[in-house]
Amino acid sequence: SNAQITPADCNTIETDAGVALDLVNRHRRDGYVFGLFRVADAHELHLGNSTVLYLTLDVLETECSVLSRRHWESCEYSDTYPMDFGQCKIITYTNHLLKKPQLYGFNCTLSP
């Protein structure tokens, strides 16, 4: 097979990254919602009718608990104490017939 990993589309990656980060936040059970700071790296693999997206995102902790189930864009960032910066490596899988990305795996680390 000639499937190869290519850089993701710059025009859509901010949106795709935001969706992926929301999937991660919904999956988490403790801590605070991560907000998107920037897309550090994004590559994709096209397999037939589906796309696998490999993301490295720089994130910031918001003031929303993950249990609030709020979307990160609706959350505030604290300005009273040093914010926790972090990085999330995320893999999503999208079947183009279903159109909805699914969370395949993620790993987030925080460095206060």
- Own/partner pairs for 13-16, CB < 8 Å, 24+ apart? 13/39, 13/42, 14/39, 16/42, 16/53, 16/55, 16/92, 16/101
What is the pLDDT, as a whole number, of residue 112?
Answer: 66
pLDDT in tens, 1-39: 567 899 999 889 999 999 999 999 999 999 999 999 999
Residue 68 has phi, psi (to 5 degrees) of -70, -20
Q: Which domain holds residue 95?
A: 5-111
CATH number for the domain harbouring residue 29 = 3.10.450.10
pLDDT in tens, 67-103: 999 999 999 987 766 667 899 999 999 998 988 999 9
Q: How many domains does the chain have?
A: 1
Q: Global pTM?
A: 0.89
